[in-house]
Amino acid sequence: METALVKPVVDALISIFEKARGIKLKSSAEKSLAAAIRELLNASPNENIAAAKIAVAKAAGIISSDLLLAEEMLTKVKTSKKLAAKVTASKKPARKKVVAKKPQKRNSHQNRNDRMIAFGSLKGSKGKLR
């Protein structure tokens, strides 16, 4: 007789624990979804983290406007990054202006050495005078 009374009580307790687990899972999934939206609002969001948090919310069975908003924000972030990558790839680097160098003024010693070389007065590889 006593076993007949224990089984329904155990079944009721198990169902209560499963509901509590489901409620806890949903609340943690909602927190995860809020964190994903926060991540996507950053200046440079991490797409992988946001996508993982959205996947957690989907797995928990959350169907809300927040989930749809987070998914839409994620797609917009991905497309904007692709567009930014295309724009930077298509830009050509600025051309460098080539400026002609002015010839250096020669001093009198250099001119004298050039004349001596022309007449054969300078000998040797070190450029010593005779």
Confidence of residue 75 (pLDDT cuts 50, 70, 90): very high
Separation between Cα atoms, residue 115 and residue 122, nearest integer Å: 9
Separation between Cα atoms, residue 2 and residue 35, nearest integer Å: 50
What digits encode the pLDDT tens for the residues 76-127? 999 988 888 877 777 666 677 777 777 666 666 666 666 666 666 555 545 5
Separation between Cα atoms, residue 1 and residue 8, nearest integer Å: 12
Query: Residue by residue, what is the 3-state secondary structure of the chain?
Result: CHHHHHHHHHHHHHHHHHHHHHHHHHHHHHHHHHHHHHHHCCCCCCHHHHHHHHHHHHHCCCCCHHHHHHHHHHHHHHHHHHHHHHHHHHCCCCCCCCCCCCCCCCCHHHHHHHHHHHHCCEECCCCEEC
Q: What is the pTM of this model?
A: 0.54
What digits encode the pLDDT tens for the residues 2-61? 667 777 777 787 888 888 888 888 888 888 888 888 888 888 888 888 988 888 888 888
